[in-house]
Amino acid sequence: MKVAVLILAHKSPEQLEYLIKSLQHKEVNVYLHIDKSAAFSYKNINATFVPVLPNYYCSWGAYNVTRATFDLLKRAHKDNNDYYVLISGEDFPIKPINKIVEFFKTHEGISYINLLPLEEVKKDVLVDYPTFIKRFSFVHIPICHNNKIFSILKHRFLSNFKKLQKKFTFLRFKTPRDIYVGENWFNLNRRDVEKLLKEFRKSKWLRFRLSFGLLMEEVLPHTLLKRSLNNDKWVNDSLRFTIWKPNTGSPEVLKSENISDAINSNDLFARKFEDLSVLKELFNKIKE
């Protein structure tokens, strides 16, 4: 059994290094993508991992986050891993790494991903649906990270186009049919990753359409995966302990008082953390 842990990171190199070291195991391979706008690089991380290139500018909500996710999957797939676990650099395991590996051995062949049809989002009390659906209606404008003429012109064009979309409803995009959404963090078996990558290669039009949307890392993998999921071989659960802020879709920052609840849950990872001392406390707890 080989487990690939795929990490999307953009800040806190010391915390990231501590996370990677907590994942060290003979059957675990760590793959890392660092946001191109981060104030550090791969060489600053003193830990064992596979760097995934190229680096993308991954500002919040930008389609580059989706691109980085699929690049991580493609790179890890080349190494013939059996499970593919996507986490953030602000996540942390809440079970010992040997127990996490054992979990996937025990549940071999089953994928764990939070996934639901778009229509179901309307019923979620934590989601402001009118705001949520705007992800698809309006063009998302990523941060312009450089002074290259093409980047400046593109940013200016998108900004002006969005102003027109707000003024004229006929310019707003229609939501594609048969869309599925969910948390972007997942645990997929090799068979489903192969199917997902195959659908990714085939779905050029959908990829192009969603590349203009907001937070499509919570949409494209789920929509493509749902086309081929075996209903007997997946569980609608990301296995992430998260405390959500009401009506925001954003997680609370976990503190010391949340550690016991996290450890006692059935989840494998928790998100999100910003205090290294809390992580050290958590790590010592799961070793006991």
Q: Where are the domains of the chain?
A: 3-116+181-287, 139-171
pLDDT at position 247 is: 65
pLDDT per residue as tens digits for the range 89-116: 999 999 999 999 999 999 999 999 999 9
pLDDT per residue as tens digits for the range 8-31: 999 999 999 999 999 999 999 999
CATH pick for 3-116+181-287 out of 3.30.310, 3.90.550, 1.10.3210, 3.90.1200 = 3.90.550
Q: Quick one: which of 186, 222, 219 has its CA closest to 63? A: 219
Q: Alpha helices of 203-275 — where are they, by DSSP H?
A: 204-210, 220-226, 259-263
pLDDT at position 248 is: 66
Q: How far is CA 89 from CA 112, 155, 180, 188, 240, in A?
A: 20, 28, 25, 19, 14
pLDDT per residue as tens digits for the range 126-138: 778 888 899 999 9
